[in-house]
Amino acid sequence: MSEGIQQSITVIKGVGKETAENLNTLGIETIEDLLFTFPARHEDVRLKDLAETPHNEKVTVEARVESEPTVFYTGRKNRLQVQILAGRYLVKAVFFNQAYLKNKLHVGDIVTITGKWDKGRQSISATKIDFGPKTEQLDFEPVYALRGKVTKKRFATFIQTALETYKDEIVDSLPNTLREKYRLLPIVDALYAVHFPTSAAHAMQARRRFAYEELLHFQLRMQALRQLRLEQEAGTAIAYDLAKVKAFIASLPYELTNAQKRVVNEIFRDIKSMRRMNRLLQGDVGSGKTVVAALALYAAVTAGYQGALMAPTEILAEQHGASLAEWLAPFGVRLALLSGSTKTKARREILAHLASGDIDIIIGTHALIQPDVQFTNLGLVITDEQHRFGVAQRRVLRDKGENPDVLFMTATPIPRTLAITAFGEMDVSSIDEMPAGRKVIETHWLRPEQLPSIFERLERELQAGRQAYAICPLIEESDKLDVQNAVELYEQLTTVYDGKFTVGLMHGRLHADDKERVMRDFSEGRIHVLVSTTVVEVGVNVPNATFMMITDAERFGLAQLHQLRGRVGRGEHQSYCVLLADPKTDEGKERMTAMTETNNGFVLAEKDLELRGPGDFFGRKQSGLPEFKMADLIQDYRILDVARQDAVALLHEPNFWHDPMYEGLQHMLKTSGVADGERFD
């Protein structure tokens, strides 16, 4: 026997079997479901003066009928037209397919009409008519996403009845303390305000309360799960040798930035502790993540553990391998590189040394997750550009050790909002500062026809001894076309710079050996302009390259454009990025403009999120983002942040699980599978 608002809607007066079935199709089974079915929006039905109503705006007027209605028929459709006097304005009201109104409207009648105002035609295209003066008490009418047979009016009556009858049985999940802190409406008031608002501000107050409540619930679940993970999942306590780590830092040719120091501290605190690290390191392209990874790996080695660094492409793995070898080999660290193109014999040796503990750090591609890759004691796993690997792949590598600490690195900064939602169970470290002396990459957006003018500008760079990238987009439907574009641009540039500069071509269809050769020729300066598809996107480091042009730039998302741009601006010289684009949509134009306005990946990420919405940001399917009724991750990110802090503080209260003040929250957590020290799912 359920009671209170858990009872079936059939107990509400007026809800019969058929109505109940209708409501069921909307997902409404209980009184609680009914009360918490929020309107999609509120419509302003205040009476308005037509003189102040903009064209095409919705308007409600009280008016006097001034003419007999006329009906025009076209085929099976009809249109009824009548003169009305609304305030001082004599205008037309037009009704579609409501010829029956003809006998109901008489000169002198007072009516209330809602519809769209056509200023040019001086007519209202009516969607609603009430006979008599405005009776509706509400100025802001809730609009529910109703389907089927239940009318708006009846639906509102059910809610009203339910509220009157059961208002004393509704538990407010928000404790007084929090409600007072943010001046949020108590639950019953909020329900009245959302269903029967007296003003826009009143409806807004309800929205604010429910948005906060939803986000608090969400954060509590996340934080409670996180606490459980920390308590239950023992990790590896890496007792690193601080003196050795400091010696390594001292050997670097530069000082770490403050942001690097901060994230190193965060990471080191994690790896030293018994709990398993599960941390995301995000930092813009060029912010210096590699050296942070090297520090963490070296720390693990000084404690007698092995470390692994996995990168999404061979080129990137090789670059990491080269950097790490340069830094760490002088300290006696034994490193090896393993990729798909490692020869069989070399591979066999590496695997043997890895299994016997004669290799300290292995750097590689997917090749690292093969079953025959075995470690003696893997203590730390780092994945670069984590979004390029599936969850399963990342887990395979992790499972090659006994609860090794895990660090993910990404140069695609995740908007703050999403970092704390999508990765609520992960700790996040951000390198939000560039090494000193970096020059801002000057970015321009030009029209495709301006391509020839770019050749001149580019030539000046080349004459000064610099190098350049020319990027053609990846056309998903056809990588043939993709290659063809690159080939055409390559031929064009070869003709333009004939005899003066060397142009190279790089695309996904080249043989691994050829790719390797082209890349090497470019990084060693034998190729001056590298025409490429997006294969150069990740990680490539050629500090002498100062010019980047991207054709058909409108085809790229902001994150990818920013990634590509990050290939230049890596050395001491001023760098440039030219976007050739002819975007057809406003969104596309905004993307191009955003690129020219900022070099900050975090800012662009927020912009990307705003332009595309959170689902698209991760790809809708695996977004893993929760759905909210009222809260909006973009609009309400401040509330989300506050809710997160409140959730952490609540869970730290010693009496949280027992204080009756938190009854609603305890109940919410228990029904979603989390309870004091236990996890049910």
User: Which spans of this chain sit near ligand ADP (rule: CB under 6 A)?
Assistant: 254, 256-257, 260, 283, 285-291, 411, 435, 541
Under the rule (CB under 5 A), what is the footprint of Mg ion?
289
Three-class SS of residue 403? coil
Minimum Å distance from CB 409 to Mg ion? Answer: 7
User: 288 touches which of ligand ADP, Mg ion, none (CB within 5 to 8 A by kind)?
Assistant: ligand ADP
**Beta-carbon-side half-sphere exposure of residue 137 (alpha carbons within 13 Å):** 6
| Minimum distance of ligand ADP from residue 249's CB (angstroms) | 10
Query: How near is the Cβ of 527 to Mg ion at its closest, in Å?
Result: 22
From the number of C-beta atoms within 10 Å of its C-beta (0-12, 13-18, 19+), residue 408 rates as buried
Q: Which is nearer to ligand ADP, 174 or 285 (CB)?
A: 285
- Indicate the burial class of 634 (C-beta count within 10 angstroms; 0-12, 13-18, 19 or more): middle
Residue nearest to ligand ADP (CB): 288
Nearer to ligand ADP, 290 or 443 (CB): 290
Least Å from the CB of residue 309 to ligand ADP: 12
The nearer residue to Mg ion, 289 or 591, going by C-beta atoms, is 289
With tokens 């977004």, the residue in question is 623
CA distance 563 to 541: 12
Alpha helices (runs of H) in 435-511, residue ranges in sequence order: 451-463, 479-496
Residue whose pair of structure tokens reads 């090896």 in the numeric block: 336
Query: Which is nearer to Mg ion, 289 or 562 (by Cβ)?
Result: 289
List residues bridging with 85 in a β-sheet: 64, 90
Q: How far is 521 from 287, CA to CA, in rounded Å?
A: 26
- Contact partner, 415, from Mg ion, ligand ADP, none, Cβ < 5-8 Å per class: none
Contacts 24+ apart (CB under 8 A), 118-125: 118/55, 118/56, 119/53, 119/54, 119/55, 119/56, 120/55, 121/92, 122/89, 122/91, 122/92, 123/91, 123/92, 123/93, 123/94, 124/59, 124/61, 124/84, 124/91, 124/92, 124/93, 124/94, 125/94, 125/96
Nearer to ligand ADP, 278 or 287 (CB): 287
CB of 419 to ligand ADP, least distance (A): 17
Nearer to Mg ion, 342 or 563 (CB): 563
Q: Which is nearer to ligand ADP, 89 or 254 (CB)?
A: 254
- Helix and strand numbers (H, E) in the chain are 21, 23
The rounded radius of gyration (Å) of the Cα atoms in the chain is 32
The answer to whether 233 touches 242, Cβ cutoff 8 Å, is: no
Select from ligand ADP, Mg ion, none the partner in contact with residue 260, using the beta carbon and a kind-dependent cut-off of 5 to 8 Å: ligand ADP
Q: What is the Cα–Cα distance from 335 to 313, expressed in whole angstroms?
A: 18
CA distance 121 to 561: 47
Question: How far is residue 435's CA from residue 427's CA, in Å, rounded to a whole number?
Answer: 23
- Hunting for tokens 């080999």 — which residue is that? 329
Integer angstrom CA distances of residue 90 from 61, 67, 98, 125, 217: 12, 11, 21, 14, 53
Angle at 364 between CA 360 and CA 368, to 5 degrees: 85
**Sheet (strand 278-283) strand order:** 335-338, 361-364, 306-310, 378-384, 405-410, 278-283, 427-431
- The least CB distance from residue 20 to Mg ion, in Å, is 58
Residue 257 interacts, among Mg ion, ligand ADP, none and using kind-specific CB cut-offs from 5 to 8 Å, with ligand ADP
Minimum separation from the CB atom of position 467 to ligand ADP (A): 16
Nearest-angstrom CA–CA distance, 186 and 563 = 47
To the nearest whole angstrom, how small is the minimum distance from the Cβ of residue 266 to ligand ADP? 16
Phi, psi of 72, deg, nearest 5: -115, 130
209 vs 289, which CB is nearer to Mg ion? 289
45 vs 291 by CB, closer to ligand ADP: 291
Least separation in angstroms between CB 287 and ligand ADP: 4
User: In the bound complex, what is the minimum distance in angstroms from residue 545's beta carbon to ligand ADP?
Assistant: 13
286 contacts which partner out of ligand ADP, Mg ion, none, CB within 5 to 8 A by kind? ligand ADP
221: left (phi over 0), alpha (psi -120 to 50) or beta: alpha
Q: Which is nearer to ligand ADP, 154 or 262 (CB)?
A: 262
Helical pair 558-565 and 586-597, crossing angle rounded to 10 deg = 30
Nearer to ligand ADP, 123 or 282 (CB): 282
| Contact partner, 563, from Mg ion, ligand ADP, none, Cβ < 5-8 Å per class | none
Q: How far is the CB of 180 from Mg ion (least distance, A)?
A: 47
Q: Which is nearer to Mg ion, 291 or 518 (CB)?
A: 291
Nearest distance from C-beta of residue 253 to ligand ADP, angstroms: 8
302 binds, among ligand ADP, Mg ion, none (CB under 5 to 8 A by kind): none
Q: How far is the CB of 347 from Mg ion (least distance, A)?
A: 25
- Taking the complex as a whole, the smallest distance from the CB of residue 383 to Mg ion amounts, in Å, to 12
The CB-of-252 to ligand ADP minimum distance in angstroms stands at 8
Q: Which is nearer to ligand ADP, 289 or 515 (CB)?
A: 289
Q: Which is nearer to ligand ADP, 281 or 527 (CB)?
A: 281
Q: What are residue 506's DSSP bridge partners? A: 532
> 242-251 vs 289-302: helix axis angle to the nearest 10?
150
Residue type, 12: I
430 touches 282 (CB < 8 A): yes
How many whole angstroms separate alpha carbon 212 and alpha carbon 233?
31
100 binds, among ligand ADP, Mg ion, none (CB under 5 to 8 A by kind): none
Which one-letter DSSP state was computed for residue 644? Answer: H
Q: Collapsing DSSP states into helix, strand and coil, what is residue 197?
A: coil
Question: Binding partner of residue 80 among ligand ADP, Mg ion, none, CB under 5 to 8 Å per kind?
Answer: none
Residue with smaller CB distance to ligand ADP, 192 or 389: 389
